[in-house]
Chain A
Amino acid sequence: MDVLGLISPLFVFLICAGTFVGIIFGAIPGLTATMAVAVCLPMTYSLGLENGLALLLGLYVGGISGGLVPAILLGIPGTPSSITTCFDGYPMAQRGEGEKALRIGIFSSLIGGLISLAALWLFAPALADFAIKFSYVEKFLIIFFALTVMAALSSDMLLGIFSGFLGIFVSLIGVYDVTDGGNGHFRLIPPGTEYWLEGGFSLLPVLIALFGLATILDEAEKGMPEGLALSQIKVGEHSRFSFAVFRGQIVNLVRSSGIGTFIGILPGVGGSAASILSYTMAKTSSKTPERFGKGEPAGIIASESGNNGLTGGALVPLLSLGIPGDSTTALLIGAFALQGIQVGPLFIGNNPVTWDAMLIAMLIANVAMFVMMYFAIRWFAMVVAVPKHILYPVILMMCVIGAYTINYGIMFDVWTLLIFGIAGWLFGKLRLEVAPFIIGFILGPSAEIYFVKSLESFGDVTIFFTKSWIALLLWVLILGSVVGSILLSRRAKSGGATD
């Protein structure tokens, strides 16, 4: 199929609409790109796969990019991934250079997004071609590796691993599906709940609950603090933006985009790690590190190109291995599931049109994000002041639609929303990590199939070590990620003690 044939007016409109809504979600502190995708996911049901993905990818790119608006104007990161944008963006805004800082961030976001898109185009098919040869053993080890990397990079490794395994455990509730080679028996179901829990908890209500309802409950607990009044938002009238600010920053721009892309490829790590690592690298390699944190444009460049570099990178493991790179791409699995398509090593080869559509959608979304934000930044800045008492009730209502429609109208999915919304709020209190839980929940059923089928086929647990050189390499990577994170954690503790 001709690539240009994909670009229908509806396709472009959905990307632009998604990007627009995504920027708004990203710009409002407390709302995230993940929430935007969760709330809009049911719309994709009747749009078809390519058009649905166009909308969701627009939301993803817009949501990640929009976070820079409150980060620069208020010193509050709109999304976790824009945390380091505050360090230099806010001081610039305070000295009347808000608009200049915003435009530096917007252009850096565009470059980060485009470089990561190139990485997606280059690496995902190659990785998928390689992964096609994997047996159940290697597939299980890849999931195990994904879970260890994600847990190791959690703020607390032990709680991160526990959260990941808890996610796997919850995903096993229900019947051991015959279509996946199981025996059709129930497990982990309290007596009398077989009717509702036969298929376990559905993915989408769980995701919407953890990223939507739990956030709103958290805000309600804090008394729903007022946002800012419009009069308090100062974009800055006297600062002139010029591309000359990027002179001498090409290395920073490319390096930070590369770091973001690499972090995106690691499963479940998230945008905040991408921007923090990019920012730290830019600061340590700068000739004037003392200017960082006081309104240095290089800090914004590193942070924003780093977090937008994540967008393409996070799609690499999703489309080549079926493992989501972050919580937002985990939601895209829901979009594929709605259309009856399974992502994994065969996805790109079997769905070339969808693959092309995703690349084009990402490209258009990045350009649309740049055009919208560059030329209408003053209007987007006002979004920061939308009152929560208007926004949150509407989001709660949209959450219900998302949960109800996923299985063609089952009220139990709506109650699942409430159960996991409260669970998500409790997670915050108990310091459990949502991202490892979600990835565990998504990958749990596949991990079970691969594990049990490996044992059924080979009848020996040593097969997980002896099957192939890839299995051995994966064990080296698993051990490396665990040992590395222990060393990092010890260094952080000893550093903290020295300080």
Chain B
Amino acid sequence: MGNLTKVQVDFATSHLIFPTLVGCILAALGLAILIRERRAILASPAMWRDTFAQMDKVRFFGTLVLTIVYFSAMVPVGDLRPNTGFGFLACSVPYVLLTGLLFMQERTAPRLAVLAVVSIVAPLLVWWLFGDVFFLTLP
């Protein structure tokens, strides 16, 4: 019995001990969830169909696409004027404007005007605050 509890830790492979243990526990818990939730899991295609049917696809996927374009554009645009935070500023203005337009329900002239002002002022303020006051690196 005493030998069964003894453990010799090999330093060269010690990086794998804990991930293996946690992986095994996760697998066991996953199996338990699979057994307990088997009916829900079998019904999951219908759940996802309902989710996508009820989803506001334009707003959800629009947010994702705009965010991916925003992240992708920041560095190349920033390289036009390196170390000035230009990439952040130049990309944030259209991003705030377009996501704001995407999220807006009724697009009236006063609402559009407020959004236009916010989409210019907010990135400018943040760019100045973080770049000049807090001296943080921006893309």
Contacts and interface: CB of A to CB of B under 8 A. Distances in A.
Interface of A: 42-43, 45-47, 158-159, 161-162, 165-166, 168-169, 172, 176, 182-183, 185-188, 213, 216-217, 220-224, 226, 387-390, 392-394, 396-398, 400-401, 404-405, 408-409, 411, 414-415, 418, 422, 429, 444, 447-448, 451-452, 455-456, 459-462
B5 A404 contact: no
Given A43-B134, A168-B22, A223 B29 contact: no
Contacts of A42: 130, 134, 136
A221 B55 contact: yes
B18 A452 contact: yes
B1 to A, nearest CB: 10
Contact of A461 (B7, B96, B118): B7
B2 to A, nearest CB: 8
A405 B15 contact: no
B19 A188 contact: yes
A401 B63 CA distance: 18
B22 A45 contact: no
- Counting contact residues on chain B (CB < 8 A from A), the size range is 35 or more
B6 interface: yes
B46 interface: no
Interface in B116-139: 118-119, 122-123, 126, 130, 133-139
Given A46-B136, A460-B7, A411 B103 contact: no
A40 to B, nearest CB: 11
Contact of A452 (B9, B100, B123, B133): B9
A394 B96 contact: yes
Given A224-B56, A451-B17, 16 more contacts: A42-B134, A161-B29, A165-B26, A182-B15, A187-B15, A387-B104, A387-B111, A393-B118, A393-B119, A401-B88, A401-B138, A404-B88, A405-B137, A409-B137, A452-B17, A456-B14
Contact of B29 (A165, A221, A408): A165
B14 A221 contact: no
A397 B26 contact: no
Contacts of A217: 60, 63-64
- Give the one of B16, B17, B47, B67 with max A CB within 10 A: B67
Nearest to A414: B71
B68 interface: yes
Contacts of A460: 5-7
Contact of A389 (B8, B62, B104, B123): B104
A170 to B, nearest CB: 10
For the complex of A and B, list the 10 residue pairs with the smallest distance between their C-beta atoms, beginning with the closest: A176-B15, A223-B56, A389-B103, A409-B137, A448-B18, A389-B104, A393-B99, A393-B96, A46-B134, A185-B15
Contacts of A392: 99, 103
Contact of A451 (B18, B56, B62, B100): B18
B43 interface: no
Interface in B40-82: 47, 51, 55-56, 59-60, 62-64, 67-68, 70-71, 74-75
Contact of A169 (B5, B19, B55): B19
A459 B4 CA distance: 11
B8 A459 contact: yes
A408 B71 CA distance: 17
Nearest to B135: A46
A200 to B, nearest CB: 12
Contacts of B115: 389-390
A416 B25 CA distance: 26
Contact of B59 (A213, A220, A226): A220
Nearest to B104: A389
20 contacts: A42-B136, A46-B136, A165-B29, A176-B14, A187-B16, A223-B56, A224-B59, A388-B103, A389-B104, A389-B105, A390-B118, A400-B70, A400-B71, A411-B74, A414-B139, A429-B47, A444-B22, A452-B14, A452-B18, A460-B7
Nearest to A186: B15
Contacts of A429: 47, 51
Contacts of A46: 133-136
A275 to B, nearest CB: 29
Contacts of B122: 394, 397
A421 B49 CA distance: 21
Contact of A398 (B12, B118, B126): B126
Interface string B86-107: 0010001001110111111100
B22 A169 contact: yes
A162 B63 contact: no
A397 B7 contact: no
Contacts of B39: none
Contacts of A401: 88, 126, 130, 136, 138
Given A42-B136, A45-B134, A418-B67, A461 B5 contact: yes
A41 B115 CA distance: 26
- Give the one of A185, A187, A216, A223 with max B CB within 10 A: A223
Contacts of A220: 56, 59-60, 62-63, 102-103
Nearest to B1: A462
A393 B95 contact: yes
